[in-house]
């Protein structure tokens, strides 16, 4: 794996023009970009295709959640964009549909969303879920593995347990990553880049600490260096 590909830059911005400016500002420090709900309905799909055509990797954070047949058709359509990662909810029927929709596309990897990093145990209790959060993450990772998905989206706080259970069979993509001293914003289970790598995360998703920085390229480079040092250790 290209070391720079471990850092996925989240383009959570109001417009595709803003996102393109961020990509330009980050320059060669950025090889992998996430496009989610904010941009999807306002040109995000076209942006994804353009980035892919320029040789960038693209993480389509669409979190598909529907009956299996609908998810299958949706994933088949998304595969035409040339994306690298696509998220779906970690339910057996959803995952089965996603894997079937991906077909023999060797590039597109299906990732199962386990538990959002904006949630904690209290949040689960309010939703009527009484399973311990780490156990729920592992259960949903099991669903992903059984369905033939390629990886999971999970907090670094659960990454070590996932890596211990599944080894390299599942890629671990970790959001909620913040450099030391950065604001956690709406995330509840946050870690530093070095801690995430040490826990077993394969890819880190970082948005605001880079795109809101005075110099996004330097901010990205600093995180890349922290990742490189953690990998070396």
Q: Specify the pairing of strand 57-64 against strand 32-35.
A: parallel
CA-CA-CA-CA torsion sign (129, 133, 135, 136): positive
Q: Are 52 and 83 in contact (CB under 8 A)?
A: yes
N-to-C CA span, the chain: 17
Active-site pick, 4, 56, 57, 63:
63
Spatial separation of the C-alpha atoms in residues 202 and 193, rounded to whole Å: 11
- Is 63 an active-site residue? yes
Which two structure tokens, joined as six digits, stand for 82? Answer: 């040339």
**Best CA proximity match to 115, nearest among 145, 141, 94, 146:** 141
Tell me the catalytic residues. 63
């Amino acid at each position: 794996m290209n070391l720079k590909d471990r850092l996925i830059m989240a383009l959570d911005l109001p417009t595709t023009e803003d996102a393109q400016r961020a990509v330009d500002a980050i320059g060669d420090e950025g090889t992998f970009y996430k496009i989610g709900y904010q941009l999807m309905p306002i040109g995000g799909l076209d942006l994804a295709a353009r980035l892919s055509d320029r040789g960038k990797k693209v993480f389509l954070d669409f979190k598909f959640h529907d009956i299996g047949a609908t998810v299958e058709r949706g994933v088949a359509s998304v595969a035409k964009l040339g994306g690298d990662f696509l998220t779906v909810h970690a339910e057996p029927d959803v995952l089965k549909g996603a894997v079937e929709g991906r077909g023999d596309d060797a590039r597109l990897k299906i990732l199962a969303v386990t538990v959002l990093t904006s949630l904690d145990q209290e949040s689960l209790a309010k939703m009527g879920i009484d399973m311990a959060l780490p156990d729920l993450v592992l259960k949903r990772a099991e669903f992903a593995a059984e369905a033939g998905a390629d990886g999971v989206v999970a907090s670094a706080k659960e990454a070590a347990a996932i890596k211990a259970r599944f080894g390299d069979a599942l890629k671990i993509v970790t959001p909620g990553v913040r450099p030391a001293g950065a604001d956690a914003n709406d995330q509840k289970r946050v870690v530093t880049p070095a801690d995430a790598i040490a826990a077993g995360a394969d890819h880190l998703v970082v948005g605001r600490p880079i795109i809101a920085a005075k110099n996004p390229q330097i901010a990205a480079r600093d995180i890349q260096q922290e990742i490189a040092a953690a990998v070396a250790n």
